[in-house]
Every structure is written in C-alpha cells, then in structure tokens.
Amino acid sequence: MAEGVKLCCAACGQMNRVPEARLAAGPKCGVCGAALLDGRVMALDAAAHDRAVRGDDLPLIVDYWAAWCGPCRAMAPEFAKAAQAMAPRVRFGKLDTEAHPVVSQRAGIRGIPALILYHRGREVARLTGARPAADIVAFLRAHLGAHPGAKSG
C-alpha cells in the first residue's frame, strides 16, 4: 500500500489517503469530490471535528466560535488569511460552540474565540482571544517547528 497522508473530508466524513507529493496540488475527496486542502477554513460539525482531530495526519487548528460573539466574527477574516498562508501544511477548521456544545465542553472551552492546535489525535497548544493572521501563523510555526512529524515553513 502506498504511503500517504490521511485527511478527513469535512463534507462527507470519508478518510482519504493523499500522497505527500500531491498535497499542494489541491487533492479532493475520493467519495464526494470536496476539496481537502484548498487553503480555506472548513466548517466542522461534531462528527467531522472528531474524525479530523483523531484521524488527520496533518496538523489541524480549530477555531471554537459562536455567531453572537463579536470578537469571533472580527477574527474570522484573519483566521481565513492564516489558512491561506499555512496551506497545505496545516488544515483549518471552525466549530460553532452554540450548535455543538458537547464538543466545546469536551474540549474544555471556557471562552471564545479559542483556537486549539491538534496533531495526530493530540492537543498541541491553545490560543485564546481574537488574533490577527500574523499572530496565528506565528503561533503555528512556533508550535509545529518543534513538534515531531510536522513541517514548518
């Protein structure tokens, strides 16, 4: 079996194995055709969140947010800019804490916006409060540069 990077499709939940050399080529889900690494922030539901956190081989940063939260709304474009800057080395997702309170409770979210960086099923680091894209990118580079199996850049 060919080696590859496992990525969960946020649209259908299917796990996909993508050759590492093809990560920058815009891989798509083998089942539904959704983009897996297009530099955009994935909207996650509870099931997709859990599958991606547990199954993805690439680092995943999740923004825990809510529609009523002004700082969350203000940070959304900055989070999207950081996603573009870090693609295809890091996947970006967001989870609505109002729609999925059990997940945010399980993750220990006490205030929003809250960012949690996961890699291979484990929490690597947290960052709280609204941040500009440069801070998010610096946070990722600082934590992934020293993290085994992650690539920094």
**How many whole angstroms from its chain centre is CA 82?**
11
Q: Which long-range CB contacts under 8 A does 66-71 form with residues at least 24 apart?
A: 66/96, 66/97, 66/98, 66/112, 67/96, 67/98, 68/98, 69/112, 69/113, 71/112, 71/113, 71/129, 71/130
Active site residues: 69, 72
For residues 3 and 11, give the distance between their C-alpha atoms in angstroms, rounded to a whole number: 24
Q: Given CA atoms 145, 128, 53, 43 in this order, what sign does their dihedral have?
A: negative
